[in-house]
């Protein structure tokens, strides 16, 4: 299992051999990955391709304590964004891996399949959704399949916050039971609340790491991993807020927006910060602008859906232009690029 938010940390034996400056065959002959204390694979038992977590292997190689990770066998609350390999997905359905090879052709599963180091994986929540909606099957646990959230979206955080206040170790399952929302909704709310509170504490005590702040707030490590990643993004977003406000003011002065309000930042992934500015005035040079902390500014072709799925950077052309240079060009440079 690849824990939610750790896809980018997946390493193969080839990667580990290269990191240590030796050929793969030499690495296998010396069985370095089987040495006492070496982190266990995060791939399922019997998997043909062994996968490892880079944070764990880096800690091992530098003599630091190896941080623990959740596993499929833990009793802790799992995350819908955990990635399951073929054997784990089959186990979740109660079928054999060979049967899974047939089921994985379903459109729901093919659409959400993720490749990690060349190995097919599927989000836990998608596997469960498929399991619960298969013909002749009803939802095994939780709320009835297809039922909507019982809490309006704008009330979700305020309704979830008291549950987290009462029990810092509360789980998505507990929130589902208390509020009647879906598990994905509950998990997202808890992650946002924990991340914001971790970021607040780090703002008050800059010497704290996200992990230290989570411990100080009594958040269990296994339940706060995504929140610690998101907390760092929240802090970066707060740091970027004055710059985004300056850009919004400049665009309004140029006559391209009807308001100079700064855009709200978004986190399409927990470790990613983007913002959208709608150019809603007459004669604006584009429907909207998108700022991405990794790539800077670009135009968008739609005010309603300015972001691509996962905020992936689209190629230039068909109304998409990458503007100015750097991730935080001066507002004047952005205006000039739009006017060109």
Q: pLDDT of 69-88, one tens digit each?
A: 887 766 556 788 889 999 99
Q: Using an 8 Å Cβ cutoff, are 311 and 269 in contact?
A: yes
**Mean per-residue pLDDT for 219-238?**
91
**Mean per-residue pLDDT for 179-202?**
91
* Signed CA dihedral, 249, 255, 261, 265: sign only: negative
Longest distance between any two alpha carbons in the chain, whole Å: 68
Return d(Cα 274, Cα 259) in angstroms, integer: 19
**pLDDT at position 74, please?**
63
**pLDDT at position 288, please?**
94
Return d(Cα 168, Cα 79) in angstroms, integer: 17
Given a cut of 50, is residue 213 above it in pLDDT? yes
Given a cut of 50, is residue 145 above it in pLDDT? no
Which has the higher per-residue pLDDT, 273 or 140?
A: 273
Residues 6 or more apart whose CB falls under 8 angstroms from that of 69 comprise: 3, 6, 42, 53, 56
Given a cut of 50, is residue 142 above it in pLDDT? no
Return d(Cα 277, Cα 238) in angstroms, integer: 17
Give the residues across from 116 on adjacent strands: 119
* Signed CA dihedral, 256, 259, 261, 267: sign only: negative
Residues 6 or more apart whose CB falls under 8 angstroms from that of 51 comprise: 2, 10, 11, 12, 41, 42, 43, 116, 117, 119
Q: Using an 8 Å Cβ cutoff, are 194 and 219 in contact?
A: yes
* Signed CA dihedral, 113, 117, 118, 120: sign only: negative
- pLDDT tens-digit readout, 4-27: 888 889 999 999 999 999 999 999
The H helix count followed by the E strand count for the chain is 13, 10
Helix axes 331-339, 221-253, angle to 10 degrees: 60
Please report which helix (H) or strand (E) contains residue 198, including its range. Answer: helix 183-204
Strands 288-292 and 296-300: antiparallel
Given a cut of 80, is residue 122 above it in pLDDT? yes
């Amino acid at each position: 299992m690849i824990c939610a938010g750790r896809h980018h940390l997946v390493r193969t034996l080839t990667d580990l051999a290269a990191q240590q400056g030796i050929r793969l065959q030499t690495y296998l002959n010396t069985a370095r990955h089987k040495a006492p204390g070496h982190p266990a694979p995060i791939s399922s038992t019997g998997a043909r391709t062994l996968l490892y977590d880079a944070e764990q292997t880096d800690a091992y190689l530098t003599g630091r304590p190896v941080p623990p990770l959740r596993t499929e066998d833990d009793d802790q609350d799992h995350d819908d964004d955990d990635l399951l390999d073929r054997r784990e997905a089959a186990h979740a359905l109660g079928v054999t891996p060979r049967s899974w090879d047939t089921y994985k052709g379903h459109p729901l599963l093919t659409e959400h399949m993720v490749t990690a180091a060349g190995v097919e994986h599927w989000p836990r929540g998608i596997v469960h959704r498929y399991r619960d909606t298969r013909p002749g099957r009803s939802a095994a646990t939780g709320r009835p399949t297809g039922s909507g959230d019982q809490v309006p979206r704008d009330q979700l955080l305020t309704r979830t916050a008291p549950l987290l206040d009462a029990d810092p170790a509360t789980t998505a399952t507990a929130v589902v039971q208390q509020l009647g929302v879906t598990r994905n909704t509950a998990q997202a709310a808890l992650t946002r609340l924990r991340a914001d509170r971790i970021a607040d504490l780090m703002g008050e005590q800059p010497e704290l790491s996200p992990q230290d702040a989570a411990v100080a707030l009594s958040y269990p490590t296994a339940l706060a991993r995504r929140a610690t990643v998101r907390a760092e993004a929240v802090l970066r977003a707060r740091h970027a807020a004055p710059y985004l406000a300056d850009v919004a003011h400049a665009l309004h002065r140029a006559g391209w927006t009807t308001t100079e309000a700064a855009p709200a930042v978004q986190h399409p992934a927990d470790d990613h910060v983007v913002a959208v500015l709608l150019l809603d005035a007459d004669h604006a040079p584009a429907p909207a602008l998108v700022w991405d902390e990794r790539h800077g500014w670009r135009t968008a072709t739609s005010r309603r859906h300015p972001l691509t799925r996962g905020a992936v950077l689209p190629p230039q052309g068909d109304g998409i232009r990458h503007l100015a240079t750097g991730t935080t060009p001066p507002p004047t440079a952005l205006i000039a690029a739009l006017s060109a």
